[in-house]
Amino acid sequence: MNIDSIDHIVLTVKSIEKSLEFYVNVLNMKEISFQTGNDKRYALQFGNMKINLHETDNEFDPKAKIPTPGSEDFCLITKTPIKEVIKELNDKHIQIIEGPEDKHGALGKITSIYLRDPDKNLVEISNYN
């Protein structure tokens, strides 16, 4: 077996609406919706990946053993210079809780900033150096 990439992750959230607002309006992801049987589902698309959203107590099976809002910690890579990302987040009144600082990504050195989404998940936004 040779795993190549991540296709999607699932975030368990308290409110689909608040999560869509944050990821679409703050991080400029694209909202998508789709049907699974009788259920309307929501996701966030960016690049060639997506984040599926499951609302607490209304998750879809199969699911994580203990789906919990605020338990995620993930890193998003942007080609936008981190100084421009900081300015955009400041203009949108989004608090940066740490950074910029140098870290190690999957492919080498990155410069990262950290913020929290509406469920208090830790979102790292980074540039490769």
CA distance 19 to 58: 15
Q: What is the pLDDT of residue 38?
A: 85
Domain-located, residue 2: no
Structure tokens at 119: 């469920």
Q: What is the pLDDT of residue 129?
A: 87
Domain-located, residue 82: yes
Of the residues 55, 59, 84, 124, only one is catalytic, namely 124
CA distance 27 to 76: 10
Measuring CA to CA, which residue among 72, 78, 66 is closest to residue 51? 72
State mean pLDDT over 13-20: 97
Question: Does residue 93 carry a pLDDT above 90?
Answer: yes
Q: Tell me the residue range of the domain where 40 lies.
A: 8-128
CA distance 79 to 47: 11
- Cβ atoms 70, 119 nearer than 8 A: yes
| 124 tagged catalytic | yes
Q: What is the pLDDT of residue 104?
A: 96
Q: List pLDDT tens digits, range 66-89.
A: 999 999 999 999 999 999 999 999
How many structural domains is the chain composed of? Answer: 1
